[in-house]
Amino acid sequence: MVVPLISIILLAPLAAFTIFALLGLAKRSFPRQDLLSTAAMLVALGCSLYLLKEVVPKPDPHTVDWISLGNITFSMGFYLDSVTVIMLIVVTLVSSLVHIFSIGYMHGDPRYPRFFAYLSLFSFSMLFLVVSDNLLGIYIGWELVGLCSYLLIGFWFEKDSAANACKKAFLTTRVGDVGMFIGMMILFWQLDFKTFSLYGEGGIFSAVATTDDKLWLSIAGILIFCGAIGKSAQVPLHTWLPDAMEGPTPVSALIHAATMVAAGVYLTARMFPILTPSSSLVIAYIGGITAIVAATIAIVRFDIKRVLAYSTISQLGYMMLAIGAGSYVAGLFHLTTHAFFKALLFLGSGSVIHAFHAMHAHHDDDHADNAEHDHSLVHEHGSEIPPDQDMRNMGGLRRKMPITFITMLIATLSISGVPFIFSGFWSKDKILGGVLGRAMEWNSIHHYVLFGIALCAAGITAFYMFRLIFMTFFGEPRNQEMHNMAHESPWVMTVPLIVLAALSFPVVNHLWFNKDYVKPPPQPHIQAPQHAYVPSDTKIGFTLFGLSEAEAADEEGGTDTEQSDKAHHAHEVAHNIAMVLSIIVAGLGILLSWLFYHRRRFSAEAVATTFRPVYNLFWNKYYFDEFYDGVLVTLTVWKARLFAKFDLSIIDGIVNGVATITQKIFAASIGFFDNRVVDGIVNRVAEVTWAAGGRIRRIQTGAIQTYLFVVLGGIVLIILIFRAL
Partner 1 sequence: MSLQHYLVISSILFTLGIFAVLTRRNAISILMGIELILNSCNLNFAAFSRFVIPLEEVEGKIIQNIDGQIIAIFGIVLAAAEAAVFLAIILAIYREFGSIRPDEVDTLKG
Residues that bind partner 1 (CB under 8 A): 696-705, 708-709, 712
| CB hemisphere CA count around 432 (13 angstroms) | 28
Buried b (16+ CB within 10 A) or exposed e, 219-240: bbbbbbbbbbbbbbbbbbbbbb
Closer residue to partner 1 (CB): 510 or 697: 697
Angle, helices 402-416/445-473, rounded to nearest 10 degrees:
170
Task: Give me the amino acid identity at 457.
Answer: A
The nearest distance, CB 714 to partner 1, in angstroms, is 13
The nearest distance, CB 691 to partner 1, in angstroms, is 15
Distance CA 358, CA 484 (A): 11
The nearest distance, CB 713 to partner 1, in angstroms, is 11
The nearest distance, CB 699 to partner 1, in angstroms, is 7
The nearest distance, CB 703 to partner 1, in angstroms, is 5
Closer residue to partner 1 (CB): 606 or 703: 703
Calculate the CA 503 to chain-centre distance: 24
Closer residue to partner 1 (CB): 607 or 710: 710
Calculate the CA 449 to chain-centre distance: 29
Partners of 68 in beta bridges:
73
Closer residue to partner 1 (CB): 678 or 715: 715
- Inter-CA distances, 362 with 87, 366, 367, 481, 498, Å: 42, 6, 9, 12, 30
DSSP annotation of 490 reads: P
Closer residue to partner 1 (CB): 70 or 702: 702
Phi, psi of 389 (to 5 degrees): -110, 0
Distance CA 411, CA 408 (A): 5
Calculate the CA 617 to chain-centre distance: 26
Distance CA 56, CA 517 (A): 8
- Inter-CA distances, 257 with 24, 214, 261, 458, Å: 30, 34, 6, 18
Closer residue to partner 1 (CB): 646 or 707: 707
The nearest distance, CB 705 to partner 1, in angstroms, is 6
The nearest distance, CB 695 to partner 1, in angstroms, is 10
Q: Residue 60: in which H helix or E strand, if any?
A: strand 60-69
Closer residue to partner 1 (CB): 656 or 706: 706
Q: Residue 666: in which H helix or E strand, if any?
A: none
Residues 76, 96: contact at Cβ < 8 Å?
Answer: no
The nearest distance, CB 701 to partner 1, in angstroms, is 6
Closer residue to partner 1 (CB): 31 or 713: 713
Distance CA 510, CA 516 (A): 11
DSSP of 497-556: HHHHHHHTSSSSHHHHH-TTTS-PPP-TT----TT----TTHHHHHHHTT--HHHHHHHH
Q: Residue 73: in which H helix or E strand, if any?
A: strand 72-80
The nearest distance, CB 723 to partner 1, in angstroms, is 17
Closer residue to partner 1 (CB): 561 or 700: 700
The nearest distance, CB 663 to partner 1, in angstroms, is 48
Calculate the CA 299 to chain-centre distance: 23
Partners of 75 in beta bridges:
65
The nearest distance, CB 696 to partner 1, in angstroms, is 8
The nearest distance, CB 681 to partner 1, in angstroms, is 28
Q: Who contacts 412 (Cβ-Cβ below 8 Å, separation ≥6)?
A: 345, 465, 466, 468, 469
Closer residue to partner 1 (CB): 527 or 706: 706
Closer residue to partner 1 (CB): 69 or 699: 699
Closer residue to partner 1 (CB): 651 or 720: 720
Partners of 78 in beta bridges:
62, 132
The nearest distance, CB 725 to partner 1, in angstroms, is 23
Task: Give me the amino acid identity at 357.
Answer: H
The nearest distance, CB 688 to partner 1, in angstroms, is 18
Virtual torsion, Cα 402, 407, 412, 413, nearest 10 deg: 100
Distance CA 713, CA 707 (A): 10
Distance CA 568, CA 441 (A): 9
The nearest distance, CB 711 to partner 1, in angstroms, is 10
Closer residue to partner 1 (CB): 69 or 704: 704
Closer residue to partner 1 (CB): 658 or 712: 712
Closer residue to partner 1 (CB): 611 or 709: 709
In 562-623, the DSSP E strands lie at none
- Inter-CA distances, 203 with 6, 207, 343, 697, Å: 22, 6, 36, 96
Closer residue to partner 1 (CB): 606 or 699: 699
The nearest distance, CB 709 to partner 1, in angstroms, is 6
Residues 349, 412: contact at Cβ < 8 Å?
Answer: no
